[in-house]
Structures are given as structure tokens and as C-alpha cells.
């Protein structure tokens, strides 16, 4: 099988004001690769929300893009505080974002639910004090409902 297209992005903790840069680059790459627009739309949302969480909660980290003709995989990895209760974190509206972050318009608690809704498979691994790894896949060919 042919090797996938890989790309890495460093996401700096202090990038609150330029947030979305990695997501924008991911989108540009997917366009160049001729990925169908619906897949690009979903992948962009996943990448953007994952990037936000890296900056706001994870203390910065790294993002990975892996493209194969049949699917797009986006990962976000950090060595931040971790998530104590993943089930709770996945709930709509749940957020531990500070008042300050919320005043800036972030932290509505919809990030993880949005990632879930827009991906075909989602893996969230976290250990308190060690960090968090999120991996989301979006299938290219298969039609998806909802």
C-alpha cells in the first residue's frame, strides 16, 4: 500500500490570538490534494477545535495530519494537565475554561462534541498530569449520515 501523506504542526501555547493557523494549513493541504469539499469542511472543524483545546487546555503541543486516499486522520497531542473525566468532558456545554477565556468568546463546551459529530471515529486518551492525545478520522469515500 502506498505511503500516506504526513505533516506535523507545532501549536504554541501563546497562540491564542492567531488560533486556527494549523487548522488553516490543514485545510489548504486537503484542498491541494483534491479531497471532497464535505470531507474538508468536517476535517477543518475537527482540526480547529482540536487546535483550540491544545492552546486553551493542553498548554500547547503538536498536531499531525495523515492523509490516505480513503481517509483523513487528525491528531492533537499535548503534555498538559490531562482530562480527569473523559465522559464528562465529551458532554455538550461542559467546560473548565476560565472566565477570562470565556470573555474572549472561547470555551462554550462544544469543542469535543463538535469533533465527535464531524468525525467517523474518535479516540481520546488522557492521563492526569501526563497529557492528552486525540485522534479523529474522517472517511473520504463512504457517505455518512447525519
Partner 1 sequence: MLGIEVRHGACKRCVKCIRSCPTQAMRIYQGAVRVDTELCVGCGECIRVCPWKAIEVRQDSWVALRKTPNLLLTADPSFYVQTGSCGRTGSLQESLDRLGFEDISDYISTAYDLAALAIARQINERRKDDLPLISTYCPAVLRLIQLSHPELIDRLVGVESPLEIGVDHWRRATGRAESVVLLAPCPAMSMLQSLPAGRAKSNFDHVIIIRQVIRNLISEGATVNELPLSFERNGRWLMWALHGGETRHIAATMGRPLTSIVATGIRNLQDLLNELELGRLGCVEYLECRMCDQGCLGGVATSESRFMSLVRLQNLNINWTLTREERERLLALYATDIWRFSEPIRPLKQKSLSDDIQQAMARLRKMNELYATLPGIDCGSCGHPSCHAMAADLARGEGEMTNCIFKLKERITDLSSRIFELCARNPETPMSLGRHGRAAGTGDSEHDDR
Ligand X SMILES: Nc1ncnc2c1ncn2[C@@H]1O[C@H](COP(=O)(O)OP(=O)(O)O)[C@@H](O)[C@H]1O
Residues that bind partner 1 (CB under 8 A): 2, 4-5, 20, 23-24, 29, 31-35, 37-38, 40-41, 44-45, 48, 67, 69, 105, 114, 140
25/114 with CB nearer ligand X: 114
**CB 60, min distance to ligand X, A:** 10
132 contact choice in ligand X, partner 1, Mg ion, none (CB below 5 to 8 Å, kind-dependent): ligand X
36/84 with CB nearer partner 1: 36
CA distance 19 to 107: 13
49/78 with CB nearer partner 1: 49
86 contact choice in ligand X, Mg ion, partner 1, none (CB below 5 to 8 Å, kind-dependent): none
**CB 1, min distance to ligand X, A:** 31
Q: 97 by DSSP, 3-state: which?
A: coil
CA distance 114 to 129: 25
Amino acid at each position: 500500500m502506498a505511503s500516506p501523506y504526513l505533516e506535523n504542526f507545532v501549536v504554541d501555547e501563546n497562540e491564542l490570538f492567531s488560533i486556527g493557523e494549523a487548522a488553516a494549513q490543514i485545510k489548504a493541504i486537503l484542498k491541494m490534494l483534491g479531497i471532497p469539499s464535505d470531507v474538508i469542511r468536517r476535517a477543518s472543524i475537527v482540526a480547529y477545535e482540536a487546535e483550540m483545546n491544545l492552546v486553551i487546555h493542553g498548554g500547547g503541543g503538536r498536531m499531525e495530519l495523515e492523509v490516505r486516499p480513503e481517509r483523513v486522520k487528525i491528531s492533537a497531542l499535548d503534555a498538559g494537565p490531562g482530562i480527569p473525566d473523559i465522559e464528562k468532558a465529551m458532554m455538550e456545554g461542559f467546560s473548565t475554561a476560565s472566565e477570562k477565556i470565556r470573555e474572549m468568546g472561547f470555551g462554550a463546551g462544544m469543542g469535543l462534541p463538535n469533533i465527535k459529530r464531524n468525525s467517523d471515529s474518535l479516540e481520546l486518551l488522557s492521563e492526569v498530569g501526563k497529557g492528552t492525545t486525540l485522534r479523529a478520522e474522517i472517511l473520504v469515500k463512504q457517505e455518512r449520515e447525519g
